[in-house]
Amino acid sequence: MKILTICGSMRFAEQMPLIADKLELEEGYCVLQPVYCRGRNLTADQLKALTASHYKKIDISDGVYIVNIGGYIGRSVGAEIEYARAHGKLIIYHE
């Protein structure tokens, strides 16, 4: 079973869990997801910790699944793609 980390803009926070469900239930992946902090004001330290945690998820994954609805890829996701590429990870685009 391959492990994928979901990467996508938080503008897709409602869609990403549904996509993760489909990847797990229908396609047989083990899926790691970002933390969805909707409506919370995070401190700089909390953001730094969440970012480090997300990159660790990429490290332990076989690849990343990029949620790019409408073709949108923001700066942070672009950096995650480059990180994954530099570490030889499989990169799958939703669209």
CA-closest candidate to residue 60, choices 35, 84, 78: 84
Give the torsion sign (CA, 26, 29, 32, 33): negative
Task: Supply the range of the domain harboring residue 75.
Answer: 3-93
Total tally of structural domains belonging to the chain: 1
pLDDT digits (tens, 9 = 90+) for 2-35: 999 999 998 999 999 999 999 999 999 999 999 8
- Here the CATH number for the domain that contains residue 74 is 3.40.50
pTM score: 0.93
* Residue 79: other Cβ atoms inside 10 A: 13
CA-closest candidate to residue 33, choices 41, 14, 43: 14
CA 18 – CA 67 distance, rounded (Å): 11
pLDDT digits (tens, 9 = 90+) for 38-47: 767 889 999 8
Q: H or E element: which one contains 39?
A: none
Mean pLDDT of the chain: 95
